[in-house]
A and B are shown apart, each in its own frame.
Chain A
Amino acid sequence: MNYRDPELRELLSAQYVLGTLKPRARRRFESLLPGRADLRRSVAGWERRLPELLGPTPAIEAPDSVWPKLRTRLFPETLAAAPATTASPAPGLLARLSFWRGWAAMASVVAFVFALALGLGKQTAIPGYASVVTSMQSHEPMWMLSAAPEMDRIYVKSIQPMVMSPDIGCLLWIRPEGSERMILVGELPWRGEEATLKIDKATRAQLKGQLVVTVERVDRGMPDKPTAAPKFAGSWMPIRI
């Protein structure tokens, strides 16, 4: 099917939102969405238009039983943790996948830190903090970050080059500990190169929070707050050598 025909694109998007596509056609259409901004825009347009045209749906309180079932299904460990005497023992440290992921990430960071120190010689202080920012979906490492103890600048290396349109950027945000607010740190390189982000004095004290990266339009200037959900995340690890 020629998805580049504008009329067909509109029709498929409308029928996708309306729910009249056959299962196979819907799956094929959904598989195209991640790579086709024009289709996503068209779908978003119909998702907005159809409820406006056909009227709102009244809110109806969901049965009380739904949330407990959902919690049990998504977070079973929270229920198992309560009666500690009957809970099955947690897997050993070396058996946990997260341990090996963390170990691999940490080893990469330490190697990066030494490479940076060797490469730049005495001009570079051994950093006080490092982080690997990974994809929240695939957990693939995307950037390595390091910062001096005073957090006046952050060295960044893009380790997984991305293919994006020039008007899109990867923005690094910090959510300070115990805060809901996101503070923009700067735009990250995404073609495999390195960069240094200078941090102003006011922001330095708040840098020891969670790191998240959003992918959003930057051609109209930097936003005050994220306009897209984070795709990548990381945490600072203190480095002492």
Chain B
Amino acid sequence: MSVPEVLEDLLARTALADRHAFEKLYRLSSAQLFGIVLRIVRDRDLAADVLQETYVKIWHRAGDFRADLAQPLTWMGSIARHQAIDTLRRSARRLSTAEDIDEHYELADEAAESPADAVDRGLQGAALHRCLGELQGLQQRAVQLAWFRGLTHEDIAARLDTPLGTVKSWLRRGLLRLKTCLEGA
């Protein structure tokens, strides 16, 4: 069985309140979800709390997972992202975090990629890269800040020193352009 199939099976059993399956699911997926959460909240203790909340939701909502709509990790990752964003917005810590860890993550991304993944990504990556490249510099940065940092429109506007209306417009037009480009890719 492939990893997604194993995770699918574990999610199905978790939906039946199978605790052993849930523990296995945690063991197999927690590093991925912790990576997503830590990237947004950037504080290990806070990220650990977010991860705990995320798995509480996964335990209760496993029955909602639809294998025909999403990969298990995508579905769980989405729960983790929203949990991290909610926590971040409730916490004042983000305002005091001066350290920029983008470079650290970019290096880690390259190191984490296997040769096989790199080949796969190379095949489809060109089209994706071209689509991302269609966005102007700051427009692209706005999308990245929202995705990787969980920043609100207001946060992005402050960060890029740009009027709020402009940021909203960048994101709206940027996302629609990405969609059009990806459909044609």
Question: A: which residues have CB within 8 A of B?
Answer: 7, 10-11, 14-15, 17-20, 22-23, 40-41, 44, 47-63, 65-67, 69-71, 73-75, 78, 136-137, 180, 182, 210, 212, 216-217, 226-231, 233
Contacts and interface: CB of A to CB of B under 8 A. Distances in A.
Interface string B66-90: 1111110011011001100110010
A132 to B, nearest CB: 16
Nearest to A215: B66
Interface string B110-127: 011100000000001000
Give the dominant DSSP class at B's interface: helix
Contact of B48 (A7, A62, A228): A62
Contacts of B131: 53
Interface residues of B, number: 69
Contacts of A65: 48
A230 B175 CA distance: 34
Interface of B: 9, 11-13, 15-16, 19, 23, 26, 30-36, 38-39, 44, 48, 51-52, 55-56, 59, 62-71, 74-75, 77-78, 81-82, 85-86, 89, 105, 108-109, 111-113, 124, 128, 131-132, 143-144, 146-148, 150, 152-153, 171-172, 175-176, 178-179, 182
Contacts of B128: 52-53
Contacts of A69: 52
B105 A58 contact: yes
Contacts of B39: 57
Contact of B31 (A15, A60, A136): A60
Contacts of B51: 62, 66
Given A11-B172, A54-B148, A74-B59, A62 B179 contact: no
B31 A230 contact: no
B84 to A, nearest CB: 9
Given A20-B152, A62-B34, A227-B67, A136 B48 contact: no
